[in-house]
Amino acid sequence: MDLNLIPKLKHNNSSNFFLLAGPCAIEGEEMALKIAERIVKITDKLEIPFVFKGSFKKANRSRIDSFTGIGDEKALKILEKVSNTFDVPTVTDIHQESDAAMAAAYVDVLQIPAFLVRQTDLLVAAADTGKVVNLKKGQFMSPESMQHAAQKIKDSGNNKVMITDRGTMFGYQDLIVDFRGIPTMRRYASTVLDVTHSLQQPNQSSGVTGGRPEMIETIARAGIVNNVDGLFIETHFDPSSAKSDGANMLDLELLEGLLTRLVKIRKTINQF
pLDDT tens across the length of the chain (272 residues): 788 889 999 998 778 999 999 999 999 999 999 999 999 999 999 999 999 999 999 877 667 777 778 999 999 999 999 999 999 999 999 999 999 999 999 999 999 999 999 999 999 999 999 999 999 999 999 999 999 999 999 999 999 999 999 999 998 889 999 999 999 999 999 999 999 999 978 777 566 677 788 999 999 999 999 999 999 999 999 988 888 777 789 999 999 999 999 999 999 999 88
What was the pLDDT predicted at 207? 64
What was the pLDDT predicted at 69? 83
Q: Is 245 left (phi over 0), alpha (psi -120 to 50) or beta?
A: left
| 3-class secondary-structure state, position 264 | helix
Interatomic CA distance for residues 41 and 27, integer angstroms: 21
Question: pTM for the full model?
Answer: 0.94
What was the pLDDT predicted at 61? 63
What was the pLDDT predicted at 203? 73
Rounded (to 5) percent helix, strand, coil in the chain: 40, 20, 40
Q: Which residues fall within 8 angstroms of residue 58, CB to CB, at 6 or more apart?
A: 24, 25, 66, 67, 68, 69, 244
Torsion sign (Cα): 13, 146, 134, 201: negative
What was the pLDDT predicted at 3? 85
Cβ atoms of residues 189 and 162 within 8 Å = yes
Strand duo 190-194 + 50-53: pairing: unpaired
Q: Residue 193 phi/psi, 5° resolution?
A: -105, 115
Give me the DSSP letters along 70-92: S-HHHHHHHHHHHHHHHT--EEE
What was the pLDDT predicted at 247? 79
Cβ atoms of residues 60 and 24 within 8 Å = no
